[in-house]
Amino acid sequence: MSKIFVLPKLPYELDALEPVLSKETLEYHYGKHHAAYITNLNGLIDGSDFANMPIEDIIARADGPMFNNSAQAYNHTFYWDGMKPPTGDKDNLPTGQVADALKEAFGDFEKFKAAFSEVGAKHFGSGWAWLLKNKSGKLEIKGMHDADTPVKDGDTPLLALDVWEHAYYIDYRNKRPDYIAAFWQLINWQFVENQLLAPKREPLMLPVEQ
């Protein structure tokens, strides 16, 4: 019997990101969309060469539906982990080594925020805005289409922003820039720092015995 992936538990309750993201959005986005990627992935890996691999290894080797479902399973886990309940501090500024790294790469935090927001807002169609550390150790902002993910290229993801319509349409309808403006209140900078400083990336998702 091959192992299967399970939908990772959210690091907070479904209503914990309100008022920025509603419980209804998380019920659909996490409970339906993310869950479906994992169900589809389990159907695809069963009996295949990809059975029993960490998700990063599947993403690196797969194409077609196997790539799309493994990458979306990964991307959504990363997106949820990169957020935390809002505290009422609308600025929610990074501190310490993340603040220093963003300043070094982009000039200052406001410039980074503007550039990342623009990549998310102007991305055409479904996809993601990523902050990543590339193989030379440099921080970069990248817009990626559909399921595409920095893990495929061997870069280290630091922060993910889902700009698929399913991420914001219940709460913000067609106003993607409003969703992005509100997203900054939710960023879990401690998670970003952990990714930035980790000497080696641990597998984000491992299949388990049924």
- Residue ranges in contact with Fe ion by CB under 5 A: 162, 164, 167
Query: Is 112 or 179 the residue whose CB approaches Fe ion more closely?
Result: 179
In the complex, the smallest distance separating the C-beta of residue 88 from Fe ion, rounded to whole angstroms, is 26
For residue 19, cis peptide bond before it (omega within 30 degrees of 0): yes
| CA distances for 82 relative to 10, 48, 76, 158, angstroms | 11, 31, 10, 8
In the complex, the smallest distance separating the C-beta of residue 79 from Fe ion, rounded to whole angstroms, is 7
* Angle at CA of residue 76, ends 16 and 80, nearest 5°: 25
Please state, in angstroms and rounded to a whole number, the distance separating the CA atoms of residues 131 and 159: 5
Query: Is 141 or 167 the residue whose CB approaches Fe ion more closely?
Result: 167
In the complex, the smallest distance separating the C-beta of residue 95 from Fe ion, rounded to whole angstroms, is 28
Query: Is 144 or 167 the residue whose CB approaches Fe ion more closely?
Result: 167
Query: Is 124 or 136 the residue whose CB approaches Fe ion more closely?
Result: 124
Question: Cα dihedral angle (92, 111, 20, 90), rounded to 10 degrees?
Answer: 30
In the complex, the smallest distance separating the C-beta of residue 76 from Fe ion, rounded to whole angstroms, is 6
What residue is closest to Fe ion based on CB?
162
DSSP string, 147-191: T--GGGGT-EEEEEEE-SGGGTHHHHTT-HHHHHHHHGGGB-HHH
Please state, in angstroms and rounded to a whole number, the distance separating the CA atoms of residues 121 and 138: 23
Query: Is 30 or 106 the residue whose CB approaches Fe ion more closely?
Result: 30
In the complex, the smallest distance separating the C-beta of residue 148 from Fe ion, rounded to whole angstroms, is 13
